[in-house]
Structure 1
Amino acid sequence: MATYDNIRIPGMAIFEFELKSVEDILPWGEPGAHSLSWFALTDGQFRMIVGDQVLFRYSDEILSQWGSSEREAEYQVAAFLRSILSCVAAAVAPLPPRIERLASNWQLLMELEKPLDDVQAVDDLWLDAWQWLGERSPSTSYLVECPKVQFVRIGPELRIHWDNRERSIDGLPVWTAQQGVCVMSVEAFLEECRDLMRRLLSAMHERIAGIEVGAMKPQVEVSTSSLHEQHETWRAEFASYFGEYQPEVPWHETENALLAIAQKKGLRV
């Protein structure tokens, strides 16, 4: 069984991860051309602590079916960070008043999001209506039945919504966290995201230093100078996610599309 290096801070951090020990990370590529990149060396486990629930934690039922004891989602932790941080600018940006009122009624919003019977209407309206919510939804499609999570600002609050009731395999729930909401200040959410970035970068800096001095021994030879260069590239990418936000679909087009869908469904928004 693989071993993991704990990467945590005191207190109640929302985002937690453990990196797999360098010695346990399998090289990438074909025999004779194996390699380990900075990204590959972030292999590990990730979870989100949201109130009394834990996102990205597998259910007992699915673990029993899989014959696995690894409760947390496993993948490259850098991919989890990219998924989370790419939502930050959108998540903390104020919503237009009408859309904020709709988003504050999550049950109504989810009812509105259910697919229409009119396929053509979906083709015409869906992207305009829901692109804004997609920009606030971490994409973790590299996971089987990936969790459905959204970060949405309502006034001074940041709400983390999740609904995994339809995430199942053979009728078994994939995730322990089925449905809920966790609320915090926008500033606290921003700091959590910045801290997540700092912790991974710090852990990877130590990892590269450990490889350089021989304290950590990957299964194939790696270029630490290349790892340092990759480290700076990833640092720049992560930092870029904290910039200004511009919606991909203009807000007036989003509002018009939402109103059209609501009218088709007989809902008042």
Structure 2
Amino acid sequence: MHPQFARQHHFTDESAVHVDYQVARLWMDLQEILPAVLTPLPEPFSRWVEAGAWSPWIQRVNTWWRSLDVEERRAAPQTADALWMAQRWWNARHLDLGYLLAPPDIRFWRVNDQVTLDWETRGCVIDGVPAWVETAGQ
């Protein structure tokens, strides 16, 4: 915590909440995903993402893939490669906030000259209580 902030708000050493790591980690994670975020989405992905169709589709594909046994997966190496690339492409635009308690799911993408931030907090609970008031937005 910045010393001036601590003094202004009368925090003592015992009561000060230190968030240095979280702020630094957020900055580092934003820098890491920035090149992918600033790269415009190609067609038809931009239409799928903007329409909200991408996330449900990739979830269905992942569920299907996990349902396959080892032999079925080995018999479909091209499918495995394509699925891995799709996940990698999408996850490159995901802000990993795993160091926070009940973190929101935050993704960024660019279509033409507009960058969109999309967040979702459904399922983010602490001791059975929703951690966020709003559940989703852009």
The TM-score with structure 2 as length reference comes to 0.69
| Aligned twin of 1:146 | 103
- Output the amino acid matched with 1:172: V
Q: Which residue of 2 aligns with 1:44?
A: 19
Q: Give CA deviations for 1:130-168 in whole Å, capped at 9, x if unaligned.
A: 211211111111112221000111121111000111212
Aligned to 1:80: 26
CA offsets 1:238-266 (integer angstroms, 9 cap, x no match): xxxxxxxxxxxxxxxxxxxxxxxxxxxxx
The structure with the larger Rg is 1
Aligned residues: CA RMSD: 3.3
Query: Retained in 2: the 8 A contact 1:92–1:152?
Result: yes
Taking a change above 3 Å as real, the CA distance of residues 88 and 5 of structure 1, as seen in their structure-2 partners, is farther
**Inter-partner Cα distance in structure 1 for 2:123 and 2:131:** 9
CA distance in 2, matches of 1:138, 1:89: 13
Report the counterpart of residue 168 of structure 1 in structure 2: 125
Contact 1:91/1:158 (<8 A) preserved: yes
Task: Find the residue that maps to 2:19 and give its secondary structure.
Answer: strand
Identity %: 22
Q: Distance in 2 between matches of 1:156 and 1:150?
A: 17
Misfit runs of 4+, over 2 Å: 2-6, 123-127
Q: Is the 8 A contact 2:120 2:137 kept in 1?
A: yes
Counterpart pick for 1:100 among 27, 46, 57: 46
Partners of 1:4 and 1:167 in 2: CA distance: 32
Deviation at 1:5, TM superposition (A): 4.5
- What's the offset of the Cα at 1:176? 3.1
Residue matched to 1:180: 137
- Residues 149-206 of structure 1 deviation map (CA, whole Å, 9 limit, x = unaligned): 001111211110001112123432122342001xxxxxxxxxxxxxxxxxxxxxxxxx
Tell whether the 8 Å contact from 2:108 to 2:118 is kept in structure 1 after alignment.
yes
1:84 Cα deviation from its structure 2 partner: 1.7
SS of 2:94's equivalent in the other structure is coil
CA distance in 2, matches of 1:4, 1:164: 32
Change beyond 3 A, Cα 1:44–1:4: farther
C-alpha distance in structure 2 between counterparts of 1:91 and 1:148, whole Å: 15
- Matching residue within 63, 68, 73 for 1:116: 63
**Unpaired stretches in structure 1, ≥5 consecutive residues:** 7-20, 26-42, 46-74, 182-269
Could you tell me which runs of 5 or more consecutive residues in structure 2 were left unpaired when the two chains were aligned. Answer: 74-78
Q: What is the distance in 2 between the residues matched to 1:154 and 1:4?
A: 41
For these two proteins, the number of residue pairs brought into alignment is 120
